[in-house]
Amino acid sequence: MNAGFSNVYDDEARSLAYATLEFPGSYFLAFRDLPSIIGEHVLGTKALDFGCGAGRSTRFLRGLGFEVVGVDISEPMLARARERDPAGDYRLLPAGDVAGVEGSAYDLVLSAFTFDNVPTMEKKVTLFRDLKGLLKPRGRIVNLVSSPEIYVHEWASFSTKDFPENRAARCGDEVLILMLDVEDQRPVEDIVWTDEGYREVYHRAGVRPEGIYRPLGKQGEPCAWVNETRIAPWVIYVLGPAEQTVDIEFCGERKRGRWNDRLAGRGYEKVRTELLDVVARDTPMPIGIEHGRDGLDRGLLVLECRLVPNHHVLAVRSAGKRRGICRAH
């Protein structure tokens, strides 16, 4: 990979062209499913738009009811964002350093296409670690990126036919793509990154995918699809903290397991310890113990549970009428 790679959007002419984009063609697919995806995985309304560019995704999040801060490394892009949205909160991040952003404060960090322009494994891992530190305990990262396939096919909004060298590109290599929806017809330089590569990044950064989405175009949509109905140009990752390994004790039995944080969603509330979730309603649900090589133990269905004062424990009654203490050690 070229060590001199730089963000092509940190350019006055490019920023002017990009500022006119909303959701044409292939971009429609990138944002179409985000409201339902965010609604499924995210609680709360405080969001950070990481790599906000000219503010399109920031305005999109505000339209969903979020209180949003947009951050970017490109001053020309931020200038366009402020012109379009004077009431918005847009901030410059020198070299992408999030040190000046309030930690543990956000329910959602959205990154729309930002990591297409982050060139190395090390830089990606560092950024995801930093972004994880900005989340509230139940916060989530939504990472919207270009799929490797976008660089080797034709699309409603993009062309790659003039760049056959893209087909030989490996994870981390530079690729070229032409945007058809803007006046600036200079090729865009991106960094291609595979699903396997992203999974390695997430593992090193201490986050894990809770959901992976590859939106396809549908017949009858207001777009002249080219390949979008059969090949997904985008990948959307929903990321949460990596599962924590704990010892679980229930009715005197101890198991080594990984607490499943996904149960801390709608209908649940986080309590004192990050290792336990309290069921906030009397609905049978698995408590999410996973142990050994036996997979998920679904024998413990919580019917009732309560926080025992001054202890990081839960008193529970299971579907099998067993009562006892579930304790994280």
* Measured distance CA(66)–CA(48) in Å, rounded: 9
Are 150 and 161 within 8 A, CB to CB?
no
Are 302 and 279 within 8 A, CB to CB?
yes
Q: Which tens digits make up the pLDDT trace of 241-297?
A: 886 443 444 444 444 444 443 333 323 223 222 223 333 233 333 343 333 333 333
Q: What is the DSSP letter of 44?
A: S
Q: Which tens digits make up the pLDDT trace of 2-56?
A: 444 445 556 677 766 667 777 899 999 999 999 999 999 999 999 999 999 999 9
| Per-residue model confidence (pLDDT) at position 7 | 56
What is the distance, to the nearest Å, from the Cα of residue 27 to the centroid of all Cα atoms in its chain? Answer: 17
Q: Which tens digits make up the pLDDT trace of 137-152?
A: 889 999 999 999 999 9
| Per-residue model confidence (pLDDT) at position 10 | 62
Q: 20 exposed, middle or buried (CB, 10 Å; 0-12, 13-18, 19+)?
A: middle
CA-to-CA separations, 289 to 4, 122, 243, 263, in angstroms, rounded? 47, 33, 11, 11
Location of each CATH 3.40.50.150 domain in the chain: 12-241
pTM score, whole prediction: 0.74
* Measured distance CA(56)–CA(78) in Å, rounded: 11
State the pairing for strand pair 289-291/295-297. antiparallel
Is the pLDDT at 91 greater than 60? The verdict is yes
Superfamily of domain 12-241: Vaccinia Virus protein VP39 (3.40.50.150)
Which of 8, 127, 110 shows the shortest CA–CA distance to 64?
110
Task: Give the pLDDT band of residue 104 (cuts 50, 70, 90).
Answer: confident
Are 21 and 55 within 8 A, CB to CB?
no
Looking at residues 224-233, what average pLDDT do you find?
98
